Structure formats: C-alpha cells, structure tokens
A and B are shown apart, each in its own frame.
Chain A
C-alpha cells in the first residue's frame, strides 16, 4: 500500500523557536491517523503545513493534491447561503445539486437555502464537513473539529465522521486532545511532544468500538500515561 502523506526531516520554527523537529511521518492511503498532544506541542502547526497554509518549512513534504480540511470553528462565509458555502471554490458555476448531495450525506439537506447564522454549532460543523468532502479529497485534515461541540452533539458528529470515512475511503489526519475520541476513530494514534512524534500506537480494535472494553481501557491508560496525565489525579483539571 502506498503512502498518502510523507514528510522527511520536516522542521518549522517561529522566530528561532523550533516547533517541529526533523519530523518523519507517513500516512497510508485511506488510513485514519489521530494526532494527540498537549497544546503547543506542534500538532496544529503540522496540520497547517500539510494543508499547504504554511510554507516556511524545512525538509520535504509530499501530500496528495486533492486535500481539504475542517477546523475547530466551522469557518463558513456568513454572506453565502449554506449550499453556496459547500461548493465554494469549486471550478465552474456553483453546482446546487452537488451541494445538496453533500449536505444530504451529512444529514442537513433541508438547511441548504438558509444563512449560516441560523445554524446551530453541530449543524454548522456538519456543513463544514460537507464542504470538505464535496471535493472528494484523498486526504482530509481535521483540526479539533469536535472541540467546540457539546458532548451529545460531539458523539453524533464523531459517528458521522466514522461513517463518512468508511464511505469515502480517504486518509484522515485528526488533530485532537481527546484520548477517547482518538481511540474511537483512528487506526493509529500518534502522540506528539515538543515538536517530535514521541509515541505511536496501532489501534487494532474491531469497529464500532466499545469504550468499556478492557482492551480499550488499557490502550487509553497507555495513551494517558504517555501524555503524562497522572491517573490518580483523574477528575482534577490538569
């Protein structure tokens, strides 16, 4: 199987402060990789580089030409109707049928002709996913897309992402700081620390995954340990 993403010796520094150190990362075609780490560990920087939004880098990066992203905030253009947002930037005239198909896939085709301001947080995030997927990407970059959602909505949107991934078969890099989310969704979990990939974990659990399965719990404990979260202090914000 060929790689969708390859970085060799990737480094990035801001004003002499090195954020990514000589990073080698491979993501196989169709693979779902979750990237965990504390804030400031460089995970969002890595995602921005793969997205092509940050070009002041050292080293070599190979990514598919067809890639798209969804961010923590939906980043919809408030002056375009929902369906126009979905097909924004696609060549040719805005294709309404295509937009409706994509919106139908995320379950909100009935909101197509509304202004984005009328959507709830979860709905807006669904539109953002539709906008990313309508481009049929080979690589989908997700930057904490569930971070701003309430717990109930988050579960639903996570399920939706799992479904969309199965259907589209694109490689996904999900940046998150939620250990359970990473274990629920990903084939492989990477833990970043100070600009390096410090740990790597293959998740060979059958899907859909069970939060309470003993294997799940032990993997979670390993990840939390790598992240330096002391289990005895669980319940207190770190």
Chain B
C-alpha cells in the first residue's frame, strides 16, 4: 500500500505504547458560577493589595534603617509632615495655587484643542492647514519651550499656565481629530438618508463617535497637565507645590519632597478617577470586554 491516512499510521503506535491509554483525551470544564464555599476576595481588596504592600515594604526598610533618611524619608515622617503642613496652612494653599494653574492651563488648552480638532476634523481646508502644522509642532518637545516661554511671558504665572495649556493641547487634539475621522461612513450615509442635515450629522453622528477617543485624550491630557505643572513650577515659583519642593530641596528635607510627590500623584489619580467615572457614564452604549474574573 502506498498511501495511508494519518490516523491509521498513528493508531498502531498508540496501542504499542505502554503508557496511559490515550485513545480519547477528555477535559473537564469547570463552571465559573459562584459557589458559596469558595472564598473570593472583593475586587477592591485585590486591587489595593499591591500598593499597600509596597508602602509596607517602604515602612519596614525605613524603620530597620536599611533605607537612610537622607535618601528617602520614612512614610511616618511624610505623614507627620503632611499633618504639620496642613495644620499651618502651607500645604492647602500650595495645592490651591498649583490646582489653579493646572485648571486654567487645562481649560485654555482644551478649548484650543477642541476648536482646532473640530476645524481639522470637519473641514477639508481645516485639515490641510491645521493638521500638518500640528504634526510639526508635536515634534518639538514641549518641555524644551520653557526658556522661550520665560523670554516671552516673564517668570510669573503666565509661562506656567502656557506650558500646561500646551501639554494639554496635543493629546486632546490628536485624539478628538482621530475620533472624528474614524466615524463610520456607513452610519453617516444612513443618517443622511434619514434626513439629518450638516448640523444634525455633527451632533448625532460625528461627535458621539469621536467621544471614546476624546475621553482617552482627556485622560492623557490631565496626566500631562500635572506633568507640565511639575516642570513649570521648578521655575521661580513663589507659591504652589513646586515652590514647596524646591524650598525643601535646599534644606535636604526628603520628607517634604516625598510629600509633594505624593500630593502630585494623588491629584493625578483623582483626575484619572473622575475621567473613568465620566467615561462609564457617557459610554454605556458600548459593548466592552470587561476582563476575566
């Protein structure tokens, strides 16, 4: 016989094999329906286990002296410093000053990004004029503009707000523009067929389909806003978290530096959290993969 099917070729070998019988392989499919007996931690507990563990490690290494205070203050010192600076009002006023810069810069940057992305996204002419320029400007590292901003705007509030605005503009612009341009042309066609005019199309089809992208952009933009603020506040600040930090640097106060970093991080987290809540509210219509249990 010259041709043999693979099955007949394999079978004799299997029967000759003295190992476990492998005629059919069977698998057991275990259900994932919740049974009362299994102990499951709440998702929130599991999510916080990592960060809590890291802080614990930090505390232990500081307490045992493995981590000297000149390198990094212990978490206890940081907490004490936080209480102290809150009591004398320095921390709240610093947060207020920084928050004001971030908010004003963000609002300016967001308005600019929104108008530019709408012009570029909705009109062919706008695309030709704006999008290529934005691509060019994006190639400039915006942190590198600090010296130029100081020349233009002095060393007061203006260059700090301008830097935040600039950092916010790019991620928002590119994500909103991309969202507008990824609108499903079939939906546009159907909506036109149903009698929507130009304004109706923008309102009911184009803007909603740009929304998921815009929210991603918003998340990037808010984190960039705080980042830009950290850079900007290193320059001759007389109030704010950056001012607190550069003062602490002069006196080698690592506890205050760490405290400021923690506050920056918490503010960033709070913004991120707000955007996530907002996304969940606005994007209920989307069918999303929620991750495995």
Measured between C-beta atoms, what is the minimum distance from A231 to chain B in Å? 35
Closest to A67 in B: B193
Residue in contact with B285 in the complex, picked from A52, A75, A78, A88, CB distance below 8 Å: A78
Question: What separation, in Å, do the CA atoms of A68 and B189 have in the docked complex?
Answer: 12
Q: Note all chain B residues with C-beta closer than 8 A to A177.
A: none
Complexed CA–CA distance, A89 and B186 (Å)? 16
**Tally of A-B residue pairs with Cβ under 8 A?**
50
The answer to whether the Cβ of B284 comes within 8 Å of any Cβ in the partner chain is yes
- At the interface, yes or no: A80 with Cβ under 8 Å from chain B? yes
Smallest CB-CB separation from A71: which chain B residue?
B190
Q: Are A135 and B194 in contact (CB under 8 A)?
A: yes
What is the minimal beta-carbon distance from B199 to any residue of chain A, in angstroms? 12
Q: Is A69 an interface residue (CB 8 A)?
A: yes
Known contacts A115-B284, A117-B285, A77 near B187 by CB under 8 Å: yes
Q: Which of B69-77, B200-208, B248-256 contacts A (4 or more CB under 8 A)?
A: B200-208
Residue among A68, A69, A77, A90 facing the most chain B CB atoms (10 A cut-off): A77
Q: Does A53 contact B (CB under 8 A)?
A: yes
Chain A residues contacting B284 (CB-CB under 8 Å) are 115
Q: Give the size of the chain A interface in residues (CB under 8 angstroms).
A: 21
Q: 1/0 contact trace for A43-80 toward B, CB 8 Å?
A: 00000000111000000000000001101010101111
Across the A-B interface, the 7 shortest Cβ-Cβ residue pairs: A89-B194, A75-B190, A89-B195, A79-B208, A117-B287, A89-B196, A79-B285
Q: Once the chains bind, are B286 and A53 in contact (CB under 8 Å)?
A: no
Q: Determine if A111 is an interface residue (Cβ-Cβ < 8 Å).
A: no
Q: Knowing that A89-B191, A89-B195, A89-B200 touch, tell me 8 more A-B residue pairs with CB under 8 angstroms.
A: A53-B189, A69-B193, A73-B186, A77-B187, A89-B194, A89-B196, A131-B194, A135-B195
A69 and chain B: residue at smallest CB distance:
B193
Q: Is the CB of A68 within 8 A of B186?
A: no
B276 on the A face (CB < 8 A) = no
B191 neighbours in A (Cβ, 8 Å): 77, 88-89
CB–CB A88/B204 < 8 A: yes
Chain B residues with CB under 8 Å of A115's CB are 284-285
Interface centre among A51, A88, A135 (most CB of B within 10 A): A88
A residues adjacent to B (C-beta < 8 A): 51-53, 68-69, 71, 73, 75, 77-80, 88-91, 115-117, 131, 135
Chain B residues within 8 Å of A73, by CB = 186
16 contacts between A and B (CB under 8 A): A51-B193, A53-B189, A68-B194, A69-B190, A71-B190, A75-B187, A75-B189, A75-B190, A79-B211, A80-B285, A88-B196, A88-B204, A89-B194, A116-B285, A117-B285, A117-B287
Q: Report which residue of A52, A68, A75, A115 has the largest number of chain B beta carbons within 10 angstroms of its beta carbon.
A: A75
Complex interface: chain A residues within 8 A of B205 (CB): 77
Q: Is the CB of A80 within 8 A of B195?
A: no
Interface centre among A69, A71, A78, A79 (most CB of B within 10 A): A79
CB distance from A167 to the nearest CB of B (A): 21
B192 touches A117 (CB 8 A): no
In whole angstroms, how far apart are the Cα atoms of A115 and B283 in the complex?
11
